[in-house]
Structure 1
Amino acid sequence: MEPLEEIDIFIFDTLTDILFDKVPGYKEVVDMGENSFFSDRSTYLFMNEFAVYLGGQIIADRTSSFVESSFD
């Protein structure tokens, strides 16, 4: 494995751990298979999917616990 690839994987794993800790509802979404980029370990694609999902949740109910925890 290339050193830069190892760094990318470390960043991805760290970022997703923090995100799932702060927004546990999103881990449930990923576990249900609604997020196809998790298996790619692409930080940018993963965060883009999160942003798109969050945008939909804001439209649906901007006062939901998911939205509030996402901004915390």
Structure 2
Amino acid sequence: MKQKIVMKVHMSCQKCRTKALKVVASANGVSFVGLEGEARDKLVVIGEGMDVVKLTNSLRKKVGHTDIISLAENKPK
């Protein structure tokens, strides 16, 4: 089952955005990573078999404050 996770990450500069994308992209099971929102502060992750808690904790450790906004099944359109 594919999951879609939306997280709000405190990213104050371009370097932080790049670092956050690298951290998430290196996780097991991730197939898509993107930014959304007006301030480009929401991180969208789509994949299968991901551990959301580990992903959030690694973002908190390496980038900054991170909140999980939503976690849902990704249904094809």
Q: The TM-score by the shorter chain falls in which range?
A: 0.3 to 0.5
TM-score (norm 1): 0.37
Say which structure is richer in strand: 2
Larger-gyration structure (1/2): 1
Higher relative contact order (CA 8 A, sep 6+): 2
